[in-house]
Amino acid sequence: MRILHLDGSGLTLNEATAILRGQVGRLDVPAAARQRIQRARRCLEQILASDRTVYGVNTGFGKLSNQRIAPDELLELQQNLIRSHAVGVGQALPIPVARLAVALRIQALSQGFSGVSWELVQFLLQMFNRGVVPMIPEQGSVGASGDLAPLAHLALVVMGEGSAWLVPPGTNPPAALKPMPGKLVLKKAGLAPYRLQPKEGLSLINGTQISCALLADAAVRATNLATIADLAAAMTLEATKSSLRPFDPRLHQVRPHPGQSASAANVRHLMEGSEILPSHANCSKVQDAYSIRCSPQVHGTFRDALSYVREVVEREMNSATDNPLVFVDTGEVLSGGNFHGQPLALAADLLAAAATNLAGISERRVENLVNPDLSGLPGFLTPKPGLNSGMMLVQVLAAALTSENKVLSHPAGVDSIPTSGNREDHVSMSTHAARKVRQVIQNTTRVLACELLCAAQGLEFLKPLRPGRGIEAAYRHIRRYVAPLDHDRTLHPDLTAVEQMMEDGSLLEAVHAVCPQLC
């Protein structure tokens, strides 16, 4: 278990991955960040002592910002803010995502622009380190003014209200683990509820950390999909006796998108040593279907989109996103719009569209495998078609998931609806976008599992010819858990096994052992 230092900058997606996977046992904020936090707090307190008006500190919120709040009501203002804004509904965010959201909130506060006290940051650290995970409903945010409703549920637990789990970092909680009252969880963790000071409630909820945590999780889940898609395409290419010519490096040098070139190179590496490829060198087929021939162009676009998404996520993880922000050098408190989630919404929508295309081209390759008119293989990849249906419904499953992705890929970030008495008249829907891209990534993973299962079965009919070394390594790894399909059986366990080996990394690990050039 590692210790992760959060100082407001330099947090990477790899470190967020470690948090999501429960590999971070403790968070810490270095002394320099602590000093920044304390300086900003002193600056804010001096401004309040001068009786200046500061939004959300001694005023109401949103359309009520013109309402001045009496000094003896400032603490009640922050409590009321959290209670009134905790209107989230729906399923709870997964525990790893909620845990990451807490870490990202600490990271944002550690920049020293929020004006919160060190005691609040210290309390959040103790929550994380002692395994207190807020129960955060996934619905209720429009992705501007921050993820107000979901973050309010996080803040409720700080106050000893709401609901939470007690899950020490590094442990795998049962899927059916039920949350408990926040006050009870704090007590079990040895913590007393924290009393929010002026501005602290606003600073806890005025940020993009829910959208960012959800998108980070999607990006992490998507990270290996491009390489797995290349593997699936190469296996299908072998099984259908298709051509390697469209992967010639000269073609990709004259259209130098980096992802496209990487994808084509992967297929070439995977097919090194193939005995199947030379067996049909002089066949009459002139060109293959687009789903095989154009796989570098589509897979590469996914790679390039994911690179952009990772950049956006990492910038956002290292940003100050609440409002207003305290600038110690000039003694000013500036109201702005860093809470607006548009960068995250656009990135999530882009990733959803790219992943949907990755699933779409994979589903078409599944059709090329199971359709005897296209593949030259037995119908639906069964030795006795007719008596057996073979992989017929695997293609139907891939089609169903791909079509579901198309619905989910309608861009959320082009939508907006006015809120808060029309004061907040343009919102990003970043939380919607980030929530649904996670489902798109899951569906795409399962479509690729369909292709890998079918392609491995297709190779059975080409024996004793052996595929390329990388493809053979993947085939052998699949066969450790999934037997060839000699006659009809329930395929759900087979699909689950392939999906699991994709997600736990063991499939790519087996391939990298013989094909280390893969990227």
What is the tens place of the pLDDT at every residue in 431-467? 999 999 999 999 999 999 999 999 999 999 999 999 9
Q: Are 11 and 90 in contact (CB under 8 A)?
A: no
Is 194 labeled as catalytic in the residue annotation? no
CATH class of the 222-322+332-416+426-514 domain in this structure: mainly alpha
351 phi and psi, to 5 degrees? -65, -40
Which ranges in the chain are annotated with CATH 1.10.275.10?
Answer: 2-207
pLDDT digits (tens, 9 = 90+) for 10-54: 999 999 999 999 999 999 999 999 999 999 999 999 998 998 989
Specify the pLDDT at position 62.
79
Domain 2-207 sits in CATH at 1.10.275.10
Specify the pLDDT at position 236.
98
3 sits in the region (left: phi over 0; alpha: psi -120 to 50; else beta) called beta
Specify the pLDDT at position 419.
87
Rounded Cα gap, residues 47 and 203, in angstroms: 17
Q: Which of 58, 64, 63, 88 is nearest to 76 (CA)?
A: 58
Whole-model pTM: value is 0.96
What stretches in the chain show pLDDT beneath 70? none
Rounded Cα gap, residues 501 and 439, in angstroms: 19
The DSSP string of 219-264 is HHHHTTHHHHHHHHHHHHHHHTT--SGGG-HHHHHTS--HHHHHHH
Specify the pLDDT at position 460.
98
Contacts of 310 (CB under 8 A, 6+ apart): 13, 219
Q: Which of 209, 152, 170, 163 is nearest to 186 (CA)?
A: 163
- The residues pairing with 157 across neighbouring beta strands, listed in sequence order, are none
What's 192's DSSP letter?
Answer: P
Specify the pLDDT at position 56.
87
Q: Which of 55, 194, 475, 481 is catalytic?
A: 55
Contacts of 209 (CB under 8 A, 6+ apart): 101, 104, 105, 108, 147, 151, 321
Q: Are 135 and 162 in contact (CB under 8 A)?
A: yes
User: What is the length of the chain?
Assistant: 519
Q: Which of 100, 117, 111, 135 is nearest to 20 (CA)?
A: 100
Which ranges in the chain are annotated with CATH 1.20.200.10?
Answer: 222-322+332-416+426-514
Rounded Cα gap, residues 355 and 228, in angstroms: 13
Q: Which of 317, 139, 286 is nearest to 217 (CA)?
A: 317
Rounded Cα gap, residues 16 and 13, in angstroms: 5
